[in-house]
Structure 1
């Protein structure tokens, strides 16, 4: 897409936002049709920044539409298991679902590049690539085959790299571990000799307690604390090399989406953008408090040495290249991301202060 095309698209978006604002202040009804959606969740609704955006989305849509748009979300397993949300939306069993789309990597290999990948885009650059670059259009193309309209509806920063009984000092320390690890990071650890399994978030505590796994990652410090992972293991590894960000998406059955009035579709889209911003702010506010609480409670937050991170990056690139060679869409998305990261690097490297200016002590 040319710069001229992108500027033209941005102008259209600005005009739409202006009209949206004008209609708000003029009192004009923004949506007249009634929408009543049951929305299964992949994670419990109280997880800060991860699923709390869907609560914000629900409340705001109901208010701004005068009660015409109402979403009712359901906790994991109440309607369908977390790993079955995509299929339930695709077939029309439910009109929409809110999920971490990386769960469906076995069916669609490219999805972990959208849900959070190792040594990949960080939140601000991801948003630029997704909304202004190829990201959103490629994701819509991916889901079109499954009769789904996807919307980014949550974005948070990097995860912790996980909870391990012992510190990680070199790559050999991963060999032989039975570990719960999601996404492409799990494939990296498999290459290093770990035995990787996928356990839903609500079952991780029990898996650690019963010693069916030796180690785990799940999400950010504040969310891991909500799951009580620090009650079992006291060694926390950082940074989240395997997921430089985490997203959640609202998936809507395409037949349902296409039948909506344009005003209703615009409200849901804008609602998801607002929910993403709200959730990101909420998440960034919560993480330092969680880390400081961990310190008081005797949790050791180990930062991986740079040589280990460099070695992990090397293995990650090998895994990414292997996956790209076996799946054309994965290759298209990865190539788009890598090209944008290279393009964006001049701004990120020169425009932002080095991270050691932001000191912790």
Structure 2
């Protein structure tokens, strides 16, 4: 009787055991990048939350397909997952920019923390899920890593005005943020991260932006350029995300899907926390040990870029119904949230600046 009961218990356990799911996620950036470090942290959380059932293996850029083919490869099932920034796929749909890097804070004063409020509680996530259907992609997306605000960029000489800025061939991100630079007379050149430093060394471009102090220092900008400007508008908000082939996602259990959701929400918070400290350490090192000179961005840059960004947003909203829908959602959110958040942030900024000035 006892042996029969044990047999039933063992049989019962065997029937509920879940097979391991392996998900290969190819990044669009090298393995040493901070974003990949945080992506691996997300993968560790998923593994722990699923008791080892779901294992995400992070592959570096180009491991299976080329960087530009990453999303298509996920759609077709050549790889189970991909990792990039949503605006990388603006060529497939202009609204991708409104999720990956809504230019100039979507033109309505949204910073990365306010963006998360819109995404999680203001209807943004539902629109994000709809984006992949609008693209015709067989993909389930997960927003993971807020990055902004990004620095204006690196220059070989100081720039004191927009006239100075317009003298340089400047690497920018693809899509509307880069196009907006062209609209204000800057020779904007879009290129992938791995091509930037060689292009600077060869003189193909004269100046460049990538991200923030830590990722920029990992790329090695300080080796070829010394003048660094932190304040920029092109990517005040930046968000990196992971894409799973939807057939792979649909085969997961409800608990495994919930684990991905919970780990993604945790990643949104952890990425911001990680960035603040890591960028602070990197900026200190750049200035103190690598001869980097930190400058304030010329005042005439801000109205020029903001006005051009708004014009570009309005143009795209007129031309694309889904773009208009997403942007209207962001504007409606901003009308409620930004007056409060901007006022609250003014106190934070004044407090921080007072301490930063004392450190100088």
Deviations 1:19-40 (A, max 9, x none): xxxxxxxxxxx99342111110
Aligned mates of 2:257, 2:184 — CA distance in 1: 45
Q: Partners in 2 of 1:334 and 1:77 — Cα distance? A: 33
Would you say the 8 A contact 1:122–1:244 is kept in 2? Answer: yes
Question: How many aligned positions are there?
Answer: 331
For 1:44 and 1:294, the matched residues in 2 are separated by 21
Residue pair 1:174, 1:192 contacting (<8 A) in 2 also: no
Point out 4+ residue stretches in structure 1 off by more than 4 angstroms.
Answer: none
- The residue that corresponds to 2:350 in the other structure is 356
Is 1:157 equivalent to 2:148 in the alignment?
yes
Aligned-partner Cα distance in 2 for 1:218–1:162: 7
Q: How does 1:91-102 map to 2 (within 5 A)?
A: 91-102=76-87
Which of 281-290 and 110-119 deviates more?
110-119
Q: Secondary structure at the match of 2:144?
A: strand
Deviation at 1:343, TM superposition (A): 1.3
- Please give the alpha-carbon distance, in whole angstroms, between the structure 2 residues aligned to 1:174 and 1:332: 34
Judge conservation of contact 2:184–2:305 (CA < 8 Å) in 1. no
| Partners of 2:158 and 2:96 in 1: CA distance | 31
Q: 1:237 aligns with which of 229, 240, 245?
A: 229
- Deviation of 1:325 after TM superposition, in Å, equals 1.9
Whether 1:65 and 2:56 are equivalent positions in the alignment is no
Q: CA deviation at 1:335?
A: 1.7
Structure-1-length-normalised TM-score: 0.86
1:124 aligns with 2:113: yes
Structure 1's 174 and 351: CA in aligned 2 closer, same or farther, altered over 3 A?
A: closer
| Greater helix content | 2
> What is the match of residue 92 of structure 2?
107
Equivalent-residue separation in structure 2 for 1:31 and 1:174 (angstroms): 61
Show structure 2 runs of 5+ residues with no match.
1-15
Task: Tell me the distance in 2 between the aligned counterparts of 1:215 and 1:76.
Answer: 24
Counterparts in 2 of 1:261 and 1:78: CA distance versus 1, 3 Å: same
Q: Distance in 2 between matches of 1:328 and 1:304?
A: 35
* Residue 197 (structure 1) aligned to one of 181, 185, 189: 189
Which residue of structure 2 aligns with residue 34 of structure 1? 20
Q: Could you say if the C-alpha distance between residues 348 and 294 of structure 1 is closer, same or farther in structure 2, counting changes exceeding 3 Å? A: same
Once the two structures are overlaid, the 10-residue window that deviates more, 134-143 or 220-229, is 134-143
- Report SS of the residue matched to 2:104: coil
Distance 1:31 1:152 in 2: 30
Contact 1:82-1:99 at 8 Å conserved across structures: no
Say which one has the larger Rg: 2
1:180 aligned residue (171, 174, 192): 171
Structure 1 spans left out of the alignment, 5+ residues? 1-29
